[in-house]
Amino acid sequence: MTDSKYEVVIGLEVHTELKTNTKIFCSCSTEFGGEPNTHVCPGCLGMPGVLPVLNKRVVDFAIMAGLALNCQIAEFSKFDRKHYFYPDLPTSYQISQFDQPICKNGYLEIDINGEQKRIGINRIHMEEDASKLVHGGASIATSSYSLVDYNRGGVPLLEIVSEPDIRSPEEARAYLEKLKSILEYTEVSDCKMQEGSLRCDANVSVMPKGSKEFGTRVEIKNLNSFRALKKALEYEVMRHIQALEEGEPLIQETRTWDENKGITLSMRTKEEAHDYRYFPDPDLVPVIISREWVEEIRRNLPELPQARKERFMREYGLPAYDASIITSSKALAEYFDACVALYPEAKTVSNWLMGDLIRSLNAEDQDIRDCRIRPEMLVEMLRLIDNKTISGKIAKTVFEEMFQSGKKPADIVKEKGLVQITDQGEIEAMVDQVIEANPKSVEDFKSGKEKAIGFLVGQVMKLSKGKANPNMVNELLRKKLK
């Protein structure tokens, strides 16, 4: 990756499901997770003779996303049919936009090593989602049958296509994070990657440094987590560099990411636009967008991440670093707001969110909105630390348990017997025991080796299973060793 002989070129195509109540061309529900084939009608099942009717909300959302991403909004836009044969499309074509998308020529800014970098957005277009295939076996390759769930078919999507301005897997991740954040703030999508409402395909090529011509491009499909995006790109870049070094040819193709094996696998050779036999959908009239409509939406754009970051610094006195991490996700910012409303020590809250909370969420690939620790539970835990029921160290254990089980902190402390030991006599007994058992360290400390006290404190803490009040342990030890 850091091989200075080569330059990496990446462009992302991101699909996001819009937060409309109904589908793009019929009035079926878009809700996630219903019984298979319950959100369907003759329209989205592709029955002959049923005409599509465009959901105006979809256009509102497309304009909103376009404005938030600094795009030009077309005055004239139209829908086209994109043809391919696969059971996830009942009509054998997807209604999408080809040469006249609703938004063009935008950009967003990513923060990379403390510097702002602008990544171009080539276009944003509206389209319908395909249905979901449920494969019968362990994987698509080994299953003997597949079932089709049409609930997702016809859910409105925006496809957001970046320019090939991204230069590393880290930048790709930063771009996707920023894009997700902007889409969340505008509330056009809930962007739950776990539920597939934000999905990403990555195009990548590698060329000799300074070359004017891009290398052979590979498209990796369906990267559904930030980790998958970064890992898949790192793998693919390495594969390209190896091929270039060995003079092996690379082919332009579509690949898939195998999460378990940690490798990409070839799916098919890349299709070209003409393979899709695009033509304007004769069942839909063009979309004409007045400037008043655009301005109306511009006026009502909600606060975007950058503005909220500045507000958090101003109102809560958060450092820029904290504010930028906490506002990077709208849901996290709201979580923070909810905590601070109950517990005004903003920096303490921020430390827990940026440390334990984000780490746990990342480790489990969990969305904060699904987190079992609700703001009031986190605050209750902070109060237990403040009133010395538990130590900061034990709080970590309580936090972990809350995260896993969703139990209340006070219940966890009671059940697991985690109440901090503050009884002078009890601590003294343990201190005596440790002094007795560690004559060498005691000698060291007495002869001026300040460090030895740390070891002795550690031994008492261990003896108390982490429950002794560390300040008291320290004090008592020093008193006894004087």
Q: How far is CA 52 from CA 43, 284, 406, in A?
A: 7, 7, 45
- The count of chain residues that interact with Zn ion, using the rule CB under 5 A, is 5
Q: Which two tokens stand for residue 370?
A: 């699904």
- Closest to Zn ion by CB, 27 vs 146, is 27
- Smallest CA-to-CA distance from 174 within 70, 182, 210 is with 182
Instruction: Give the H/E segment covering residue 60.
Output: helix 56-68
* Under 8 Å between Cβ of 95 and 25: yes
Select the binding partner of residue 11 from Zn ion, ligand ADP, none (C-beta < 5 to 8 A, by kind).
ligand ADP
* Residue 11 interacts with ligand ADP (CB under 6 A): yes or no: yes
Q: Which does 294 bind (CB under 5 to 8 A by kind): ligand ADP, Zn ion, none?
A: none
Residue with smaller CB distance to ligand ADP, 107 or 214: 214
Torsion sign across C-alpha atoms 406, 409, 410, 415? positive
**Closest CB to ligand ADP belongs to which residue?**
11
Instruction: Choose from ligand ADP, Zn ion, none: what does 223 bind? Cβ within 5-8 Å by kind.
Output: none
- Min separation Cβ 236 and ligand ADP, Å: 10
Shortest Å, Cβ 286 to ligand ADP: 22
| 378: partner contacted, choices ligand ADP, Zn ion, none (Cβ within 5-8 A by kind) | none
**Residue 131 interacts with, from Zn ion, ligand ADP, none (CB under 5-8 Å by kind):** none
Binding flag, residue 26, Zn ion (CB under 5 A) = yes
Tell me: does residue 169 bind ligand ADP (CB under 6 A): no
Residue 41 binding target from Zn ion, ligand ADP, none, CB below 5 to 8 Å by type: Zn ion
- Rounded distance, CA 395 to CA 24, Å? 48
Q: Is 95 an interacting residue with respect to Zn ion (CB under 5 A)?
A: no
Q: Which of 22, 203, 324, 329 binds ligand ADP (CB under 6 A)?
A: 203
Burial 235-252 (b: 16+ CB within 10 A, else e): bbbebbbebbeeeeebee
Q: Does 163 bind ligand ADP (CB under 6 A)?
A: yes
Exposed, middle or buried: residue 57 (CB in 10 Å: 0-12, 13-18, 19+)? middle
**x-or-dash string of contact with ligand ADP, 13-32, rule CB under 6 A:** x-------------------
- E runs forming strands in 175-248: 198-208, 218-223
Which position among 6, 9, 39, 452 is part of the footprint of ligand ADP (CB under 6 A)? 9
Q: How far is CA 104 from CA 78, 124, 478, in A?
A: 14, 6, 70
Contacted by 187, from Zn ion, ligand ADP, none: CB < 5 to 8 Å by type? none
CB under 6 A: which stretch of 10-18, 279-287, 334-342, 431-439 binds ligand ADP? 10-18
Sheet containing strand 115-128, edge to edge, reads: 72-73, 103-112, 115-128, 156-162, 6-17, 198-208, 218-223, 253-258, 263-269
Question: Measured between alpha carbons, how far is 254 from 251 in angstroms, rounded to an integer?
Answer: 9
User: What's the min distance (Å) between Cβ of 243 and ligand ADP?
Assistant: 15
DSSP 22: B
DSSP class of 355: I
* Phi-psi region at 210: left, alpha or beta (left = phi > 0; alpha = psi -120 to 50): left
Please state, as a whole number, how many other Cβ atoms lie within 10 Å of the Cβ of residue 479: 10
Among 8, 24, 44, 176, binds Zn ion (CB under 5 A): 44
The one segment of 29-37, 103-111, 168-176, 203-211 that binds ligand ADP by CB under 6 A:
203-211
Q: Which of 9, 12, 18, 28 binds Zn ion (CB under 5 A)?
A: 28
8 A C-beta contact, residue 61 and residue 71: no
Closest approach, Cβ 22 to Zn ion, in A, equals 8
Q: Does the footprint of Zn ion cover residue 43 (CB under 5 A)? A: yes
* Residues lying near Zn ion in the complex (CB under 5 A): 26, 28, 41, 43-44
* Residues lying near ligand ADP in the complex (CB under 6 A): 9-13, 161-164, 203-205, 214, 217
